[in-house]
Amino acid sequence: MAEVLVQVGGRSYRLACRDGDERALEAAAREFDRRTIALAQALGALTEPRLLLMTGLQVTGELLEGASPAPDLIGRLEALAVGLEALADRLEATAGLETEAPGA
């Protein structure tokens, strides 16, 4: 498995992907970051998980509307899914740490 360091919403994330999928994951992350920044500017202050959720829903909505996919869209979406799963795991782990009482 390969690892890629990507930037989304001003934060860095180290994500795993299949060997050879690094460029697709990086491209997907750049597009996701672009959309995340645009939504943050349009909607104002949102928590990071909500902003990432809104961005993911926006992308998914466009796919379901039947936007004509780019030839490499499937690979990019698969790489994005891997990255989103890793990000969700990290957010859940962080949320779990924040909700625990000190000394627990």
Where exactly are the structural domains of the chain?
2-99
Quick one: pLDDT at residue 27?
93
**How many other C-beta atoms lie within 10 A of the C-beta of residue 84?**
20
pTM of the entire structure? 0.61
Quick one: pLDDT at residue 52?
87
Quick one: pLDDT at residue 68?
60
Cβ burial, residue 83 (10 Å; 0-12/13-18/19+) = buried
Would you give per-residue pLDDT tens digits along the chain (104 residues)? 899 999 988 889 999 999 999 999 999 999 999 999 998 899 888 888 888 888 888 888 888 887 665 667 777 777 788 888 888 888 888 877 665 555 55
DSSP secondary structure letter of residue 70: P
